[in-house]
């Protein structure tokens, strides 16, 4: 039984673990090992908002930037916990995917929806932004 590799939580302890984790370290998870991603990811998305990157392109362009960020971070002495260290450009779980809810919890992200919803909504945001005098960043409170 101890050789099984699945992640079932038959005793229901995972819920308790998650509750304590959220109380002690709000907006974080065990996957997150670098707090700097909580600033780099919004910076990447804010840059794309300023460039008015279309909804159809944002996922690919943000992914490219996140992979480039990881590659740059791998040139430093401390490479533990850097996304893409092993997988490189084939990385399946991006830093933005991991810290998306934490960005909301910490008050950095205003957009209420998922990352995919944010990507789909960008074109509408750009139209609304151009028709009104001032709409702040859809994503960020800080970084301006």
| Alpha carbon of residue 55 to chain centroid | 17
Q: What is the pLDDT of residues 77-118, one digit of tens each?
A: 888 888 878 887 888 889 898 889 888 888 888 888 899 999
In this structure, is residue 53 part of a structural domain? yes
Question: How many domains in the chain?
Answer: 1
Owning domain of residue 113: 32-131
Residue 132 pLDDT level (bands cut at 50, 70, 90) = low
In this structure, is residue 90 part of a structural domain? yes
Average pLDDT, the chain: 80
Task: Please tell me the total number of residues recorded for the chain in this structure.
Answer: 144
In this structure, is residue 138 part of a structural domain? no
Helices (H) and strands (E) in the chain, counts: 5, 0
Q: What is the pLDDT of residues 18-41, one digit of tens each?
A: 677 767 766 666 566 678 888 899
Q: Is 8 exposed, middle or buried (0-12, 13-18, 19+ CB in 10 A)?
A: exposed
Output b/e per residue, 67-88; b: 16+ Cβ within 10 A.
bebbeebeeeeeeeebbbeeee
């Amino acid at each position: 039984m101890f050789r099984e590799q699945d992640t079932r939580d038959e005793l229901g302890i995972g819920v308790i673990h998650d509750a304590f984790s959220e109380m002690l370290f709000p907006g974080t998870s065990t996957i997150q090992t670098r707090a700097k991603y909580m600033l780099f990811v919004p910076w990447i998305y804010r840059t794309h908002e300023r460039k008015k990157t279309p909804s159809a392109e944002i996922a690919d362009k943000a992914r490219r930037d996140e992979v480039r960020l990881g590659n740059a971070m791998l040139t430093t002495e401390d490479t533990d916990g850097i996304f893409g260290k092993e997988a490189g450009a084939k990385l399946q779980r991006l830093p933005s995917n991991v810290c998306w809810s934490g960005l909301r919890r910490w008050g950095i992200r205003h957009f209420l929806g998922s990352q995919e919803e944010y990507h789909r909504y960008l074109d509408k945001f750009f139209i609304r932004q151009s028709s009104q005098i001032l709409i702040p960043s859809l994503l960020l409170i800080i970084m301006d």
